[in-house]
Structure 1
Amino acid sequence: MNSFDGSHPVVGGRRVSVADDGRVLVDGARPAAGDGVARAIAALVVGDLPADAPERAIAVDQTNTSVIVDERLVVKIVGRWAAADRAGLLLERLAAGGSHDVARLHGRVGWRHPQLGDSTLAIVTEYLPGAEDGWTWAVDDVVAAVAGAPDPAWPAELGTKVARMHDVLGDAASSAGADAATARLARADDALTRAIATTDGPTGVRLRNRREALARDIRSLPKTRPGLEFPIHGDLHLGQVLASPDAAAPDGRRYTIIDFDGDPQLDAADRERADAAARDVAHLLVSLDLVAAVAQKRLGRADPAAFAWADRARAALLDAYLAALARAELFDPHLLPGFEAEQLAAELHYAAGFLPGWRYAPDAAIAHRYASTNETPEDPWTPPPFEPTST
């Protein structure tokens, strides 16, 4: 791995530093496309880059800064010290394991800081022209399925891909420890408590009417075996799956899993901890329900056919995962109900704090999947008006 040294290394003619709060800065500002830093990093990794290779920003909100260089490389520059250490290590392990389910890793660039130690400054991966994330391509497919098109085959393909990813990363699996069940229960209980405390209005009524059903699934966690844990993806949902054109694929698409930074709602220490394979699977299953909700927003109506598709997609994904997983001991299906309930609660809490326009999606999934006590009169879930940029 190539590395820069010093507290203020010069990269591409720019001074890179770490602020007191951990932010990585380029000449005192956040790294950005056009400042030349991404190009210099890419050249260090691949070696054959033109001196005037263009830089182009990836126009999404990110903790880190990702820049397309020369229309063939993606350079992810960390936004905070140590923010990409986890992703870099996991991508290296997947590359060493021959994985084709993630973006090809060209390399990562380190930073030896005299006070802070060694960390990752940037990761360089292949660029996938024409790629879209699952909040676009998957929603398109669900809308088409509701209109009568055949069900897409990608849920099963994703199940197979995740199984292969877990088989590689599971080489580092070890016993979760006797306190694992208690820790899982505490984390899930906290997620539900925070969701209840921060969710109001009709969504809050529907949530409270299903609090006992969610809590019942969460209470199943202490009844499970500790099992095995290893460094999983940690934030696996359809938004982390890119679809790019591929004429050789049966459906004309290549599906690529991205973003191994871990769950952004956890602090850095918790993101670094090993976890159960079932958490990745649960998060992906939940995201199928969330995509069904987004599709209903796109359609402008609540349509049971969207969740009927989600039922079929969930079954196809899980069946394919189980069939492809070589290390069956890595996965405990009994963890799924508790992890799914926790993730839906976490989605609501995330929406309350960061993205209020998103809460309709977990609201829809909870209303669909969990029985209501009808303790408080509630309105049926309906999607908000469709706005192309609101999801």
Structure 2
Amino acid sequence: MNSVLGGERPEIAGRAVFVAPDDGVVFDGGVGSDARPSAGDGIARELARLVDPSVPADAAERAIAVDQTNTSVIVDERLVVKVVGRWAAAERAAHLLERLADAGSTDVAGYAGRVDWRHPTRGTSTLAVVTEYLPGAQDGWDWAVDDVVALLADGAPEPDFPAILGATVARLHDVLGADAAPAPDDAAAARERRAAAALDAALEATARTGGPAAARLANRAASVHRDIRSLGATAPGLVFDLHGDLHVGQVLRSPGSPPRYTVIDFDGDPQLDASERGRTDGAARDVAHLLVSLDLVAAVAQKRLGRAEPAAFAWADRARSDLLDAYRATLVRSGLFDPALVPGLEAEQLAAELTYADRFLPRWRYAPDAAITHRHPSTDDHPEDPWTPPPSEPTSS
């Protein structure tokens, strides 16, 4: 069920919540990170009880994750309460999860409801989204890499998850694409401009930081740009509400026989401004992002192995083919997907991964560097070293 709070400073678990001038959602009595909810303060529990009155008044809370925008807390070992850190940060996710729930989708965690906030001057926005908690679930940067390392190091069977992911995303697209509409006539040019800007940003970032990745990207920029230019020759196609930030890390695998795969985090691309995250696009964008993430899994697996291993990208080649075959075989609304968009959107995403690393996570640079080095031929204009993985760190990808 859904619930609504009203007022400029509604009280939750004894603390008033208000919207700061920068649109941050702040709880009274806290400074910095303490201005957000945290496990044990009762805020997530009270929000959960507004959606599901069967939650005990003394239900336990446990921290699960803090990201740049939201805070998630496990309540009663059965619900996850995601509380926004900024006004309007969860509108998109709540809307898409409701649509999927109404369609009976089991490819996402069960949707329990949301708590909206009716503000006297700002209107109504989602304050919290409550979903099913999946015990023992891991995200794909763990389970997918584990599977590939087991294949390469121990001779384990070929992982079957690429085809599972392809079919899963096709089912999600069939639901979300039910109200797809024709893209504007200038969609092809707009996609090409956006992708070219992503490459320019990646070239600037790598040139500024220097190192081997800068030379490897410079030597492959012409090839990457060729793929980007292909976007300008594509048809506008159909557009709808996508996942928007799809990669293996957004797919949880829960223990079982067979294991359950669920797609999470429908908030959109975190590198875009909040006002742009909800824009519609063609299905190929989600598919391209997911294909790129298989190459990134291959890079992380090589880091785990402690060596450059050509068999990792040989696996990625097979995995990409399996994912695409399963996606196209499962997709009922076939008109949603234009394969001609994939090369250019992949090129954009690879560039965006480098920029993301520059802005937020420098140690991640090696992964998109590996994928670009593998996928694109070099002009050899600049001296470059072969790509090799950095030393493995037990707690990071």
**TM-score bin (small chain):** over 0.9
Q: Which residue matches 1:201?
A: 211
Q: Supply the AA of the counterpart residue of 1:169.
A: L
Q: Which residue matches 2:167?
A: 160
* 2:365 corresponds to 1:359: yes
* 2:132 corresponds to 1:131: no
Q: Which residue matches 1:244?
A: 254
Structure 1 residue 60: deviation in Å?
4.9
For 1:188, what is the secondary structure of its paired residue?
helix
Q: How does 1:1-391 map to 2 (within 5 A)?
A: 1-27=2-28, 28=30, 29-147=35-153, 148-199=155-206, 200-247=210-257, 249=258, 253-391=259-397
The alignment-based identity, stated in percent, is 69
Which whole-Å CA distance do the structure 2 matches of 1:194 and 1:364 have between them? 18
For 1:25, what is the secondary structure of its paired residue?
strand
Q: Supply the AA of the counterpart residue of 1:223.
A: A
Structure 1 residue 62: deviation in Å?
4.2
Q: Supply the AA of the counterpart residue of 2:120.
A: P
For 2:277, what is the secondary structure of its paired residue?
helix
Structure 1 residue 59: deviation in Å?
3.8
Q: Supply the AA of the counterpart residue of 1:75.
A: V
Gaps of 5+ in 1: none
For 1:65, what is the secondary structure of its paired residue?
strand
Structure 1 residue 246: deviation in Å?
1.7
Gaps of 5+ in 2: none
Structure 1 residue 172: deviation in Å?
1.9
Which whole-Å CA distance do the structure 2 matches of 1:172 and 1:380 have between them? 47
Which whole-Å CA distance do the structure 1 matches of 2:67 and 2:182 have between them? 36
Which whole-Å CA distance do the structure 2 matches of 1:343 and 1:73 have between them? 33
Which whole-Å CA distance do the structure 2 matches of 1:185 and 1:43 have between them? 47
Structure 1 residue 63: deviation in Å?
1.8
Which whole-Å CA distance do the structure 2 matches of 1:49 and 1:136 have between them? 31
TM-score (norm 1): 0.98
Can you list the C-alpha shifts for 1:1-39, whole angstroms capped at 9, x where unaligned?
310000100112221111111111122412222111110
Can you list the C-alpha shifts for 1:250-293, whole angstroms capped at 9, x where unaligned?
xxx11110000000001112111111100000000000000100
Preserved contact between residue 95 and residue 105 of structure 1 (Cα < 8 Å): yes
Preserved contact between residue 221 and residue 335 of structure 1 (Cα < 8 Å): yes
- Give structure 1 regions of 4+ aligned residues with deviation exceeding 2 angstroms: 59-62
Preserved contact between residue 145 and residue 309 of structure 1 (Cα < 8 Å): no
Structure 1 residue 313: deviation in Å?
0.6
Can you list the C-alpha shifts for 1:198-234, whole angstroms capped at 9, x where unaligned?
0121000000000000000000001000000001000
Which whole-Å CA distance do the structure 2 matches of 1:111 and 1:35 have between them? 20
Structure 1 residue 140: deviation in Å?
0.3
Preserved contact between residue 36 and residue 55 of structure 1 (Cα < 8 Å): yes
Deviates more, 1:187-196 or 1:59-68: 59-68
For 2:225, what is the secondary structure of its paired residue?
helix
For 1:220, what is the secondary structure of its paired residue?
helix
Structure 1 residue 116: deviation in Å?
0.8
Preserved contact between residue 292 and residue 349 of structure 2 (Cα < 8 Å): yes
RMSD: 0.8
TM-score (norm 2): 0.96
Which whole-Å CA distance do the structure 1 matches of 2:275 and 2:26 have between them? 23
Can you list the C-alpha shifts for 1:267-322, whole angstroms capped at 9, x where unaligned?
11211111110000000000000010000000000000111111111000000000
For 2:307, what is the secondary structure of its paired residue?
coil
Q: Supply the AA of the counterpart residue of 2:365.
A: R
Aligned residues: 387
For 1:210, what is the secondary structure of its paired residue?
helix
For 1:99, what is the secondary structure of its paired residue?
coil
Which whole-Å CA distance do the structure 1 matches of 2:212 and 2:396 have between them? 20
For 2:124, what is the secondary structure of its paired residue?
strand
Which whole-Å CA distance do the structure 1 matches of 2:163 and 2:147 have between them? 14
For 1:272, what is the secondary structure of its paired residue?
coil
For 1:340, what is the secondary structure of its paired residue?
helix
For 1:183, what is the secondary structure of its paired residue?
helix
Preserved contact between residue 188 and residue 342 of structure 1 (Cα < 8 Å): yes
Q: Supply the AA of the counterpart residue of 1:16.
A: V
Preserved contact between residue 66 and residue 72 of structure 2 (Cα < 8 Å): no
Which whole-Å CA distance do the structure 1 matches of 2:56 and 2:139 have between them? 29
Preserved contact between residue 109 and residue 120 of structure 1 (Cα < 8 Å): yes
